[in-house]
Amino acid sequence: MTAGGDGEVRARVAAAGVTAEAGAEGEDKPVKTERTRMEPPVGAESGPFWEATRNGTLLVQWCTSCDRGIFYPRFFCPYCAVDGPDNSAADQSDQSDQSGQSGPSGGSTLEWRTASGRAIVHAATVEHNPAATGATFSHGEPYVVALVDLDEGVRMMTNIVGCAPEDVRPGMTVTVTWEPLSDGRQLPLFTPAAKPA
Ligand SMILES: [Zn+2]
């Protein structure tokens, strides 16, 4: 099985589960994560992303050539096709492939930037029957899978936690929250920035 940035990050968010609402409702005790989930692999493209999660920092790639954010992590900007700082894994491509590109030479137009952690829900759906999908991490409880638009202009698939699933609405402002994984990495999930009125 080859590691692909697309697959790994999408698998991560698909596997991310509900955490806060069951344990933290009404009490301030720390959320203890014992729920079973598939933990995402770390690929070469996404290494910096995952390392930063250990400190609760959400990173997005930024293309300085076309001045826009990129998510999921990649070796090449999907908009202008200029390659990023790590060219080692792209050495199989012929250099002449890029001769017609307008980006600056040197292949360093992709950088990592710290995201604000704020986002707007673009769309959300509630999985009411986790067992039907084989998901065990929510222990049978409904969970929310959402597309959120970060302030940096990138769209992520994630879970919305910390509120009732039916309260999640498009347009809702959310902020990143972290769920520990077993190896010290953390899953970026999102929680409402303010209680729905
Ligand atoms: Zn670009």
Query: Which pLDDT score, from 0 to 100, does residue 24 have?
Result: 38
Mean pLDDT of 28-35: 47
Q: 193 pLDDT exceeds 90?
A: yes
**Model pLDDT, residue 144:** 96
Contact 136, 36 (CB under 8 A): yes
**How many angstroms separate the alpha carbon of residue 78 from the centre of ligand 1?**
7
- pLDDT recorded at residue 137: 75
CA angle (54, 126, 169) in 5-degree steps: 85
Euclidean distance between the first and final Cα of the chain, in Å?
47
Is pLDDT above 70 for 143? Answer: yes
> For the chain, which residues make up each domain, given as ranges?
1-26+33-90+107-197
pLDDT at 22: 39
Query: Which position has the token pair 């293309």?
Result: 63
The rounded Å distance from CA 180 to ligand 1 centre is: 32
Kindly report which listed range (16-25, 138-147, 149-158, 179-188) carries the lowest average pLDDT score: 16-25
Give residue 100 CA to ligand 1 midpoint distance, Å: 14
113 Cα–ligand 1 center, Å: 14
Beta strands in 25-184 (DSSP E): 59-63, 68-70, 110-114, 118-127, 143-150, 155-160, 173-180
pLDDT digits over 154-167, tens only? 999 999 999 999 99
Question: What is the distance in A from the centroid of ligand 1 to the CA of 98?
Answer: 13
Apex 146 CA angle, 38 and 4, nearest 5: 45
Distance 144 CA to ligand 1 centre (A): 32
Task: Tell whether the model's pLDDT for residue 13 goes beyond 50.
Answer: no
Predicted pLDDT at 84? 56
Q: What is the pLDDT of residue 135?
A: 75
Give the distance (Å) from ligand 1 centre to CA of residue 151: 18
C-alpha 20 – ligand 1 centre gap (Å): 37
Q: Is the pTM of this model over 0.75?
A: no
pLDDT tens per residue across span 88-119: 444 444 444 444 444 444 456 899 999 999 99
Nearest C-alpha neighbor of 153 from the set 77, 69, 75: 69
